[in-house]
Structures are given as structure tokens and as C-alpha cells.
Chains A and B, each alone.
Chain A
Amino acid sequence: MQFMLLFSRQGKLRLQKWYVPLSDKEKKKITRELVQTVLARKPKMCSFLEWRDLKIVYKRYASLYFCCAIEDQDNELITLEIIHRYVELLDKYFGSVCELDIIFNFEKAYFILDEFLLGGEAQETSKKNVLKAIEQADLLQEVRYTPNHSHV
């Protein structure tokens, strides 16, 4: 996978993960172009499209679009399920996830993604194992941290 973007129906970028080196300018250009292309598509259309020399796989969950760019020989359907598994992970972690969770806890969304995908490839596909890793990290901070800061 070359990159993953999460954006809202209004076209606001909520998460961006790049697995290939690109300049900031190029990233912004790609994002603008893809957000526009994907938002213009109608609901019943197919989830795949050709874009430059890449394949775009996207799916909408409530107000959020999840959009991945994969290479020619990569598998579209399994990428669709990568998206779904990520959504499941977010859902399980936040407890019925919504766009606001991702906005206010963006760093968590990145951490979960890093446990699941690394370098653009699936690292751990077991939901249990990914969540265990994140929970352990959360525990680490509770143990080491003095609780004098209130929580959101």
C-alpha cells in the first residue's frame, strides 16, 4: 500500500499515512485530487478506481471515507477488508467509534494503525493481538504517570 487517507464528507482530512517518500507539496496535491474524485462518486458505484498508475480502494463508514492507494499487483478485495479491520479496531478501542473520537484522539488512531499496518503491509491481522498491544501501552502510561491531569 502506498498511502491511506481518512476524510470526512465535507472533504476534511482526518488521518493521512504515507508509506512512500513524497514531498509535502505532492502529498497535499494528491490529497486534494483524491478527496475530490472520491467524493464525486455515487453511493452504488464500485469501490475501486484507477488513478494515475495506482489503484484506489475506498469505502465510506458513516461520515468518514477510508481511502487506500495500492499498486497494480495488489489485491483490491483484501485491501477493502484491511479498511474494515481498521474500522473494527477503532470501534473496539473507542467503543462505537465516531468521527469526533478520531479528531480528538488523532494520535491514538495513528498508534493503532501502526500496530496493524507497517510500511504499508499488514503486520498483525488478529484483532485481539493488536488491541492487546495498545492496551499494554495504555497500561504503561497509567503505571508510570501521576494522575494529576484530568481526562477528557
Chain B
Amino acid sequence: MPAVSKGDGMRGLAVFISDIRNCKSKEAEIKRINKELANIRSKFKGDKALDGYSKKKYVCKLLFIFLLGHDIDFGHMEAVNLLSSNKYTEKQIGYLFISVLVNSNSELIRLINNAIKNDLSSRNPTFMCLALHCIANVGSREMAEAFASEIPRILVAGDTMDSVKQSAALCLLRLYKTSPDLVLMGEWTSRVVHLLNDQHMGVVTAAISLITCLSQKNPDEFKTCVSLAVSRLSRIVSSASTDLQDYTYYFVPAPWLSCKLLRLLQCYPPPEDGAVKGRLVECLETILNKAQEPPKSKKVQHSNAKNAILFEAISLIIHYDSEPNLLVRACNQLGQFLQHRETNLRYLALESMCTLASSEFSHEAVKTHIETVINALKTERDVSVRQRAADLLYAMCDRSNAKQIVAEMLSYLETADYSIREEMVLKVAILAEKYAVDYSWYVDTILNLIRIAGDYVSEEVWYRVIQIVINRDDVQGYAAKTVFEALQAPACHENMVKVGGYILGEFGNLIAGDPRSSPLVQFNLLHSKFHLCSVPTRALLLSAYIKFINLFPETKATIQEVLRCDSQIRNSDVELQQRAVEYLKLSSIASTDVLATVLEEMPPFPERESSILAKLKKKKGPGAVSVTELDDGKREAGELNGGGDRGPDTAAMAASNASTPSPSADLLGIRSAAPVGAAQTNAGSLLVDVFSDSGPAAPSAAVNDDGFLSSAPPSEDPAPPLSEADELLNKFVCKNNGVLFENQLLQIGIKSEYRQNLGRMYLFYGNKTSVQFASFTTTVSCPGELHKPVEPLVEGGAQIQQVLNIECITDFSDAPLLNIKFSRYGGALQNLTLKLPVTINKFFQPTEMSSSDFFQRWKQLSQPQQEAQKIFKANHSMDTEVLKAKLLGLGTALLDNIDPNPENYVCAGVIQTKSQQIGCLLRLEPNAQAQMYRLTLRCSKDTVSKRLCELLAQQF
């Protein structure tokens, strides 16, 4: 096809492009462009009216200049003029310019929308498509406002041409993504779903993307699409490669449509109808079978298209997670790919296996490939593939192979790329802790980690090892010995010095009997590193020294001398100087008894989530880790309940129970409690302070426990909600995960996620005692009928995880109640009622908008009852980042550059309930001097304004 000569050559444009290409330097290019811009400007401004062709040519030149990366500040008007030309190419160039260079100039938007409106009603399919493409390319809110109601009509009208339908479907999808509140399918829903049955494959291909997106947000309304999708898929899968004519791609029938169908099915649980399910399973089996057939072509396009479908089918199988047979087949298929010569397939197989590893049905099957994966980690030449292999090893790790996997990861770390070292370190640290059976192995692993990759060992990692050593007295002697040996290396990492200083300061006495590690030897070893260390490490060492004075009175004189020397007592660093002065004084005036009390051994830390895990999550985003975690909960549920001592299991559970999304969380993830007994060590708290800036001590466990035991009536009736239930609820307004409740017996962790008007909440019940809880039952109830959790899969007894599916029917103020009953062996029935942290703001959908939009809407919501306002005193930090994090946690979009006062915050969002959508605007005005806030809410529904105002006033 001699296409180039076929177009309407714009000679001037071609010459200009040639000129630009011939420019020898950036300066020459800019000069040529400026000349052209001046020329175009004068043409546009000239008296002579330009003909359509010239206008088109100049607009096209401007576009070219813009695409080269230069700014264009004129020509928009001329482009808009082209839109109403009746010459196709002029119109087309006009639309292209508008699509690429949208300008929020409201005057222009009106003109553009007018031109689009004309083309949409022209009944000329080519013009209609151009207009739809433009809307889809720009996808602005203004366009959604103008056309969101018109396009569904075009999409389902009987006389619309197929090509127009295709454009209309995807155009609507784009508008739905930018402004879901404006695209209301309502009466069109069923006709849109039935596009899956359309004769024209192109129409189905386009429409299914729209249907998938709508299904994700409104699964119930679109659920009839499941059976339609299954039958369409079945027809494609069973068709011969020639049946579908031009929709067959390198002998693969309709690969794009097949992938999209399989993707749509992933929005739903397995079909309930037996026949539909049977048909679908058949399709999936056929797809797996086809993977074993010899290829119909040697072209890579053939195998890519075929495998694209296969991987999508495997994703669906994993999504269902209910067909052990298919899961294992999928795993075997991926196993073959692990050794494929195509790098792409190896990469994808490793990635896909990661999710298979977290299914209880295929976890064992995945484990059989461990050697191949280890080999990939060692030999793959592409770092992104090695990264996948490391991820998979992490995912397939369990108690049976932890030692092997950790060893391999450690040895890989020695040569690993810098870009992934930190993440690898975190993973090794987590696995070592989670699967440690004997803690000497754990200590060895972490010290190795510091030795091999000290620079990449974050604070969280070395804090954690100290925390664990302090909590487990069976490993303290070993830790002291190992760290002492590690410190003997001539060059050792500063992190090693920190761990060494801390551990010898606490437990040096356990190895002091050996003359090779006598107190003075230990001290001299530590002090030999002192001068090479940074200030924080030196501060830590000074604390270790004063601990030495208590542990080993014979070192007192030596250490006092060190403290007394000018480089300490007159150090220019205030912190170091203060420590030296205070320690010196303390050691010389305090009696042995006082010294022993002040410098007593650190008390155990309360068990809680490993902050390392939180850090990894932060690095990786919510996806990667959480899947495995949830599943760990499931797999190890048996061991967890009443499982004797507080061994690694409890630690693992604590780790999987909760997470600390708050960026302000302190080093150890201290959320609810400062180290127990921190008060005793107050005077000598310098060792505590490395760990945290200990916030206020948390709700004291004892008080909690009493309240809950005594408030439990002897009857079987659910107890009234705890007095602090509201306070607990408030903790979760701006976050979704954390510990909901804790006393001496029980810890309840929560993880939750929300989408549109739906939510899912995972509750983790942890038995903190060593005995079994019998007849453990939980019940969820809603005050009123406003808010009804569907299918509460409540299980008790041996189960520790519970999933609640939540649907927001309409707006509400009262949270659902959670009642928990259980009896302890030999104890009374425990009866406890809490409020589930489900608040109206969880169903927020953030809305981005411009300043003018915001104020327009603000004005629209001006009825007095739509507004709620509160002025209140700051209860928490007024730090900008903290406030921002909270407002984002609230679920709204935090809008920048809206409020004329940059100190203020404005947010916008839409609350999605089943019955309606409620637009909400928020303005928070902090007054740092007065430590006060003014909070104003305007919502389309008055009860919502009020409720949000109440909730939020507690947060800041």
C-alpha cells in the first residue's frame, strides 16, 4: 500500500521536519523553532484569512514542536476552528491537537464541547468516532459532565455502527475512570452486559473492558456477565484456529478477547451454577491441555499469544483457589516454564508461582521446584529475573526449607545488585525470625547479614535482633559469645558495633568467665572501635560502658578514666558530653544497690509486629507480602491456638496480624505500649531511648482486663460495648490495619480493605495464654439496619482468622458491634463486645478537582444543614506530614493549590453507598499558634456532614 503518497502531504510540514533533523545542535534547533513560531504567529495574527489547509498545516507544525518537548502557548483557537471544518483531515488534525494539548481554558472547553456535540449528532460514523476518540483521549471532568449521559445511549442504540459502538464503549470507560460519579449506567446495565453476545468480535473486545471495570465497582449489578463470559470463552477456546478469521492471531483464536474474558471472570467468585462452572473448568482444562500440544508455528507471536491466555487462565485458577487439581496442573506447567529458553517465560513463571505458593493446595507443589529456583537465583543473567527468583524463594519458604533458603539468600547477597540488597536483607531477616526453631541460628543469620551487607541493614533489623535476644534468655549467652567473636574482625561494620555494644552491655557477664573474654577484654574490644564510630553509636557505647560498671565492678576505674578524659567530658557533641558527665557522676556517687537498680537488665519487650515486616510492606506496597501473610495465618492456625509457649509461632502471628501503616510509627512499631517497666529504668533510660522516644504508656493492660472481666454478665447475652470501644474505634478512622484490642488473654488484630461501597475485614484472634480457648464464638451485629455485613463467616475454636464482607447500603453513624465469647480451661465465660472500626469514611472514593471546580461545588453545597463545623483544640501533633497522612488515610483526595491560604487543607471525595453517592468536601484550617483547628464539612447529605465532623474532630 503506497500509503505515504496517499495522505495529503503537507509539504511545508515535511520541509520543516527536515530542517529540524538537519540542525547540528540544540541551539540551532531552538533557533529554527523560534523562527517557525514567529512565522506561524504572524500568519495567525495576519489580516488575511487563512484557508483551511494552511491552518491545518500550521496547527500540525505547532503540534510537532510541542511533541519535540517545547512549550506552545498559542494556536489553540485555530485548532478549535478546525474542529468545525467539514473537511475530514482538517477536523482530524484539529482533534489531534486538542487531544494532545488540552488546556483547561474554560472558554475553549465550551467551544470544543460544542464541536464534539455537533459531530456526535452528525450520524456520520467517521466524525462520531473522531469525536469519541477525542473525549477518550482528553477524558477530563468537563467532558464527562457534558457527555457522560449521552454516550451510553450511543453505545446501546440499535442503529449505531459497530465501529462507533467500539469507540463509545472505551470512551465511556475512560470517563468512568476519571469521574465515576458522573457515569451512571442504571437502565443501560443489562444492554451493556449483553454486548458480550454481540456478533461483532471487535465490539465484544471493546465492550468487555468497560464491563470489567464496571463489574469491579458494582459486582452485583453486573453479575449476569459471568455466564455470558463463560459461554463466549468456551466458544472461542473450542473453535478451530481458522473460525475467527481476522481475529485469529498467529493461529491463536482471539487472544486479546480471551485474556479479557478471563480477566473479567477474576472479578467474581467461582460460578454458583453447576453447569456454568463445569463449562468453565472445561475451558481451563482445554487451555492447560493446549499448552502441551506442539506449537502450530515457530513464530514467537504464536507462543506469546497462546501463553498470554495460559497465564491469564492460571491467574483465574489462583483467584478461585478452590480447584486443587487445576492448581497443581498450573504449578506443573509453570515448572516447565522455569527452564524454558525464553527469558520472558521464565520471568513470568517465577512471578506467577509466587502467588501459587500462597495457596494451601499448591504450596507443596511449588516447593518441589526449589532447586530450579535457587539455580535461577545463581545463574540468571538478568537482574529482574533474579529478583523474581528471590521473591519466589521468599514466598515458598516454610519451616521445612527455611534453613536452605536463608542460606542461599545470604550467599546471593554477597554478589547481589545494589538495587535489591536492602529488600533482600529485610526478607532474610523476616524469614530467619519467622522460622527460627533454635534461636542461635537466628542470631548467626542476622550477624551474618550485618557482616555481608552491613550498609543495607536498616535500623529495624538490628533493633529486632536485640529485642529478640532480650526476650529469650536461652539465647543470650550464645549471642554474647557470637557477637564477641564477630567484633574481633579487624574491620567490622558499625551496625555490628551497635549490636555488640548493646548485647555485651546487657549480657557480657554470661561470657566473662572465660579468660579470653574477661570483662576488661570485652571493654577494650568495644573501646577499640569507639573512635571509628558515628555519634549515635558512640552514645550507645557510652551506655554500654556504664552497664559494664554495674556488671563488672573491676572495670570501674578503667571506665571512669575513659569517661573523665577530655574527649568525652568536653566533647563538642552535647549528647555525648552529657552522657559522659552523667555516667561519671552516677558511677561515683551511687551505691552498688542503686546502681544495680538503675542499670538493671532490660525487661522483655512486649510481643508485637516485627517492624521489619512493616518496612518491607512499605517498600513493596501492599500487594506482595500480604498474600503470603494471610495465608500463613491460615496454614499455621492449628499450631497457634493454645500452642504452649510464646515461641516463634506467636512471633509469626504477631507479625501477620497487624501492620503499622502510619509513617510516624516508631522504630519498633510501638503502637500500644512502651516497653513494660520502662519506668523502673527511668534514670538509666539511656539504653531505652535508642529504641523509641517512648510515647505515653498505652492503656494499661491490667485496667483493661479488669473492666472486661467484671463487665461480663454471667448470662449468655452479649456484653454491652466496652467503655473504651469508641476510643478504640477512633484509632481506626484514618487507618485500616492494626491492633483493635488487647488484654492479657486475647489480642485482636485487624486488616481491612475497601473498594467503592464494599469492604473486607480480616480479624485475627490471638490467644496470648498457654491454654486452649474453648467454645470460641464471635457474632457481628449492626445497630439499626443501616449497615449489614453479608456472609459473616464466623468461625471459632481452632480458627484464628475471620473474614467479614461488608457492604454499605446507605450512610450510617453507628458502627457494627462485635461480640466475642469464649471460655478458658477452668475459667469463667469471657464475654466481650467491641465496636468494629467500620466508619462511613471507609467508603470514600477520592476525587481530584481543580480549584474552580472545588469552589463551585463548595458554593453549591451552601444550605445550612449541609454544612457541619467544629472548632477544637489540637490533641495530636500539628506537623504537616502527619496531618497529610491522616487526611489521606481518611480516604479523600488531598487537593493542593486550592485554598488561598497554603496552611489550610482541602479534600474532596465521594462516599459510595449502595443506594447513592454522597459528595463531600472538607476544609481543615489549623492555627498553630493557638493549637486549634477549624474543621468544616460540606456534603450532599446532612447526616454525613455531621457524622464525619464528629469522627474527624477526634483525629487531630
Contacts of A141 in B (CB 8 A): 7-8, 87-89
Give per-residue flags for B193-216: 1 if the beta carbon is below 8 A from chain A beta carbons, else 0: 000000001100110010000000
Report whether B311 and A121 are in contact in the complex, using a CB–CB cutoff of 8 Å.
no
Contacts of B381 in A (CB 8 A): 42, 44-45
Contacts of B249 in A (CB 8 A): 81, 85, 125
Does B823 lie at the interface of the complex (its beta carbon under 8 Å from any beta carbon of A)?
Answer: no
Report whether B170 and A95 are in contact in the complex, using a CB–CB cutoff of 8 Å.
no
Contacts of B126 in A (CB 8 A): 136-137, 140
In the complex, A75→B255 CA distance in Å?
Answer: 11
> How many residues of A are in contact with the other chain, CB < 8 A?
65
Interface residues of B in 534-558 (CB under 8 A from A): none
In the complex, A21→B99 CA distance in Å?
Answer: 12
Report whether B133 and A114 are in contact in the complex, using a CB–CB cutoff of 8 Å.
yes
Report whether A152 and B384 are in contact in the complex, using a CB–CB cutoff of 8 Å.
no
Say how far B242's CB is from chain A's closest CB, in angstroms.
14
Asked if A75 meets B205 with Cβ closer than 8 Å, knowing A81-B308, A95-B1, the reply is: no
Contacts of B260 in A (CB 8 A): 122
Contacts of A110 in B (CB 8 A): 96
Does A36 lie at the interface of the complex (its beta carbon under 8 Å from any beta carbon of B)?
Answer: no
Report whether A118 and B308 are in contact in the complex, using a CB–CB cutoff of 8 Å.
no
Interface residues of A in 30-45 (CB under 8 A from B): 42, 44-45
Report whether B170 and A75 are in contact in the complex, using a CB–CB cutoff of 8 Å.
no
In the complex, A19→B7 CA distance in Å?
Answer: 27
Does B298 lie at the interface of the complex (its beta carbon under 8 Å from any beta carbon of A)?
Answer: no
Does A62 lie at the interface of the complex (its beta carbon under 8 Å from any beta carbon of B)?
Answer: no
Contacts of A72 in B (CB 8 A): 623
In the complex, A82→B723 CA distance in Å?
Answer: 59
Report whether A48 and B14 are in contact in the complex, using a CB–CB cutoff of 8 Å.
no
Say how far A40's CB is from chain B's closest CB, in angstroms.
11
From B59-67, B488-496, B515-523, the one touching the partner chain is: B59-67
Contacts of A129 in B (CB 8 A): 163, 202, 246
Does B779 lie at the interface of the complex (its beta carbon under 8 Å from any beta carbon of A)?
Answer: no
Q: Which residue of the partner chain, among B167, B311, B387, contacts A118 with CB atoms under 8 Å? A: B167
Does B394 lie at the interface of the complex (its beta carbon under 8 Å from any beta carbon of A)?
Answer: no
Does B301 lie at the interface of the complex (its beta carbon under 8 Å from any beta carbon of A)?
Answer: yes
Contacts of B201 in A (CB 8 A): 125-126
In the complex, A127→B247 CA distance in Å?
Answer: 8
Report whether A138 and B311 are in contact in the complex, using a CB–CB cutoff of 8 Å.
no
In the complex, A147→B675 CA distance in Å?
Answer: 86
Contacts of B305 in A (CB 8 A): 77-78, 81
Report whether B246 and A126 are in contact in the complex, using a CB–CB cutoff of 8 Å.
yes
In the complex, A103→B20 CA distance in Å?
Answer: 11
Report whether A119 and B384 are in contact in the complex, using a CB–CB cutoff of 8 Å.
no
Closest to B384 in A: A49
Q: Which of B17, B63, B93 has the most CB of A within 10 A?
A: B17
Report whether B88 and A77 are in contact in the complex, using a CB–CB cutoff of 8 Å.
no
Report whether B3 and A119 are in contact in the complex, using a CB–CB cutoff of 8 Å.
no
Q: Which residue of the partner chain, among B88, B163, B312, B387, contacts A140 with CB atoms under 8 Å? A: B88
Report whether B4 and A105 are in contact in the complex, using a CB–CB cutoff of 8 Å.
yes
Report whether B304 and A77 are in contact in the complex, using a CB–CB cutoff of 8 Å.
yes
Does A13 lie at the interface of the complex (its beta carbon under 8 Å from any beta carbon of B)?
Answer: yes
Give per-residue flags for A1-32: 1 if the beta carbon is below 8 A from chain B beta carbons, else 0: 00000000000010010010100000010000
Give per-residue flags for A120-152: 1 if the beta carbon is below 8 A from chain B beta carbons, else 0: 111111111101010011101110110001111
Say how far A135's CB is from chain B's closest CB, in angstroms.
8
Give per-residue flags for B613-651: 1 if the beta carbon is below 8 A from chain A beta carbons, else 0: 000000001010000000000000000000000000000
Does B256 lie at the interface of the complex (its beta carbon under 8 Å from any beta carbon of A)?
Answer: yes
Report whether A106 and B246 are in contact in the complex, using a CB–CB cutoff of 8 Å.
no
Contacts of A50 in B (CB 8 A): 384, 387
Give per-residue flags for B28-72: 1 if the beta carbon is below 8 A from chain A beta carbons, else 0: 000000000000000000000000010000001001100101000
Does B10 lie at the interface of the complex (its beta carbon under 8 Å from any beta carbon of A)?
Answer: yes
Report whether B170 and A118 are in contact in the complex, using a CB–CB cutoff of 8 Å.
yes
Contacts of A46 in B (CB 8 A): 343-344, 346-347, 382, 384-385
Q: Which residue of the partner chain, among A75, A126, A137, A145, contacts B259 with CB atoms under 8 Å? A: A75
In the complex, A34→B37 CA distance in Å?
Answer: 30
> How many residues of B are in contact with the other chain, CB < 8 A?
81
Report whether A77 and B348 are in contact in the complex, using a CB–CB cutoff of 8 Å.
yes
Does B827 lie at the interface of the complex (its beta carbon under 8 Å from any beta carbon of A)?
Answer: no
Report whether B137 and A114 are in contact in the complex, using a CB–CB cutoff of 8 Å.
yes
Interface residues of A in 88-112 (CB under 8 A from B): 92-95, 101, 103-108, 110-111
In the complex, A104→B741 CA distance in Å?
Answer: 66
Contacts of A138 in B (CB 8 A): 3, 6-7
Contacts of B308 in A (CB 8 A): 75-78, 81
Interface residues of B in 369-386 (CB under 8 A from A): 381-382, 384-385
Interface residues of B in 429-467 (CB under 8 A from A): none
Report whether B202 and A21 are in contact in the complex, using a CB–CB cutoff of 8 Å.
no
Asked if A126 meets B202 with Cβ closer than 8 Å, knowing A114-B133, A118-B171, the reply is: yes
By secondary structure, the B interface counts as helix
Report whether A111 and B139 are in contact in the complex, using a CB–CB cutoff of 8 Å.
no
Closest to A95 in B: B1
Contacts of B833 in A (CB 8 A): none
Report whether A77 and B311 are in contact in the complex, using a CB–CB cutoff of 8 Å.
yes
Q: Which residue of the partner chain, among A16, A73, A77, contacts B263 with CB atoms under 8 Å? A: A73
In the complex, A122→B170 CA distance in Å?
Answer: 9
Contacts of A104 in B (CB 8 A): 4, 14, 17
Asked if A151 meets B5 with Cβ closer than 8 Å, knowing A47-B344, A114-B133, A126-B202, the reply is: yes
Report whether B178 and A21 are in contact in the complex, using a CB–CB cutoff of 8 Å.
yes
Report whether B382 and A106 are in contact in the complex, using a CB–CB cutoff of 8 Å.
no
Say how far B787's CB is from chain A's closest CB, in angstroms.
29
Contacts of A85 in B (CB 8 A): 249
Report whether B87 and A152 are in contact in the complex, using a CB–CB cutoff of 8 Å.
no
In the complex, A121→B206 CA distance in Å?
Answer: 7
Interface residues of B in 258-279 (CB under 8 A from A): 259-260, 263, 266
Q: Which residue of the partner chain, among A78, A93, A120, A150, contacts B11 with CB atoms under 8 Å? A: A150
Report whether A149 and B4 are in contact in the complex, using a CB–CB cutoff of 8 Å.
no
Say how far B372's CB is from chain A's closest CB, in angstroms.
17
Q: Which of B4, B17, B53, B163 has the most CB of A within 10 A?
A: B4
Q: Which residue of the partner chain, among B257, B343, B344, B387, contacts A77 with CB atoms under 8 Å? A: B344
Does B9 lie at the interface of the complex (its beta carbon under 8 Å from any beta carbon of A)?
Answer: yes
Report whether A53 and B163 are in contact in the complex, using a CB–CB cutoff of 8 Å.
no
Asked if A152 meets B167 with Cβ closer than 8 Å, knowing A45-B382, A106-B67, the reply is: no
In the complex, A120→B129 CA distance in Å?
Answer: 16
Q: Which residue of the partner chain, among A121, A124, A131, A151, contacts B163 with CB atoms under 8 Å? A: A124
Contacts of B67 in A (CB 8 A): 13, 16, 106
Asked if A149 meets B10 with Cβ closer than 8 Å, knowing A75-B308, A101-B4, A136-B126, the reply is: yes
Say how far A64's CB is from chain B's closest CB, in angstroms.
15
Say how far A126's CB is from chain B's closest CB, in angstroms.
4
Contacts of B202 in A (CB 8 A): 123-126, 129
In the complex, A129→B132 CA distance in Å?
Answer: 18
Report whether B348 and A118 are in contact in the complex, using a CB–CB cutoff of 8 Å.
no
Report whether B96 and A111 are in contact in the complex, using a CB–CB cutoff of 8 Å.
yes
Interface residues of A in 50-88 (CB under 8 A from B): 50, 53, 72-73, 75-78, 80-82, 84-85
Known contacts A125-B254, A145-B87; 15 further A-B pairs (Cβ under 8 A): A16-B67, A78-B304, A94-B4, A103-B21, A105-B7, A111-B96, A118-B166, A118-B167, A121-B209, A123-B206, A133-B129, A137-B126, A141-B89, A144-B88, A150-B11
The 4 closest A-B pairs by CB, nearest first: A151-B9, A77-B308, A119-B174, A78-B308
The residues of B with any CB-CB pair to A shorter than 8 Å are 1-11, 14, 17, 21, 53, 60, 63-64, 67, 69, 86-89, 92-93, 96, 126, 129, 132-133, 136-137, 139-140, 163, 166-167, 170-171, 173-174, 177-178, 201-202, 205-206, 209, 245-247, 249, 254-257, 259-260, 263, 266, 301, 304-305, 307-308, 311-312, 315, 343-344, 346-348, 381-382, 384-385, 387, 621, 623
A-B contact pairs, 25 of them (CB 8 A): A28-B69, A44-B343, A45-B343, A46-B385, A50-B384, A50-B387, A73-B263, A76-B308, A81-B249, A93-B1, A94-B3, A103-B17, A103-B21, A110-B96, A118-B174, A119-B136, A119-B170, A122-B256, A123-B202, A124-B206, A129-B202, A131-B1, A141-B88, A144-B88, A152-B4
